[in-house]
A and B are shown apart, each in its own frame.
Chain A
Amino acid sequence: EPEVTQTPSHQVTQMGQEVILRCVPISNHLYFYWYRQILGQKVEFLVSFYNNEISEKSEIFDDQFSVERPDGSNFTLKIRSTKLEDSAMYFCASSGGLAGRQVPYEQYFGPGTRLTVT
């Protein structure tokens, strides 16, 4: 069964460093997302991406964050100048859809990357 994959599973970085989290969405999906879950808290939406551009972002997704689809399979989240409070589990998700339409397809999540900022 197709699945969303994420690498690395765990990333440790020092405060102020840049990190790139990588995701391979399900191959025929058109919508891609990043969410995060701080330990003990709710899963929070960061950003959605469609047709090579950001379609929606939350207040959390400020200039420190950026996303990119560098090729036909990968979807990345870059965090510049990491802070202690960026420590969280970061989930990538994807969903299907027909180009140009909002469709109620399920979002499928990857296993997550645990980011620890020290």
Chain B
Amino acid sequence: KQEVTQIPAALSVPEGENLVLNCSFTDSAIYNLQWFRQDPGKGLTSLLLIQSSQREQTSGRLNASLDKSSGRSTLYIAASQPGDSATYLCAVRRGYAGNMLTFGGGTRLMVKP
């Protein structure tokens, strides 16, 4: 059974700092991996999707990398801003038939002005 873990569970940084969020998964037979942002009491906003054949994906100040063989992904946020404060979730889609996403517990990020 796929398990997804995110470390740290919470992170507080000063504005302007570059930071890395980590995601690990136990079964490397994934089809893709998605990073989401969740604001308190709100839905999930998709940030990036990385295919299993890709090594990284970029969107603005966000860069996500994937090392499928070691079961790891990172989300790099450059020049963090207070508006980046949210919970960041990673989710993997398994490699055989099926579309279900298995989620990690999230990293709660606070960027202080």
Binary per-residue interface labels of chain A (73-116) against chain B in the complex, 1 for a CB within 8 Å, 0 otherwise: 00000000000000000010101000000101011111110100
Question: A107 and B98: CB pair below 8 A?
Answer: no
Question: A91 and B98: CB pair below 8 A?
Answer: no
A43-B89, A110-B43, A112-B43 known; A104 vs B101 contact (CB < 8 Å) = no
Query: What range describes how many residues of A lie at the interface?
Result: 20 to 34
Question: B103 and A111: CB pair below 8 A?
Answer: no
Nearest chain A CB to B93 CB, angstrom units: 7
Question: B34 and A112: CB pair below 8 A?
Answer: no
Chain B interface, DSSP helix/strand/loop, else mixed: strand
Chain A interface, DSSP helix/strand/loop, else mixed: strand
Number of interface residues of B (CB under 8 A): 25
For residue A9, which residue of chain B has the nearest CB? B41
Segment at the interface with A among B19-27, B44-52, B61-69, B76-84? B44-52
Which residues on A are within 8 Å of B, measured CB to CB?
4, 31, 33, 35, 41-45, 48, 50, 55-56, 58, 91, 93, 95, 102, 104, 106-112, 114
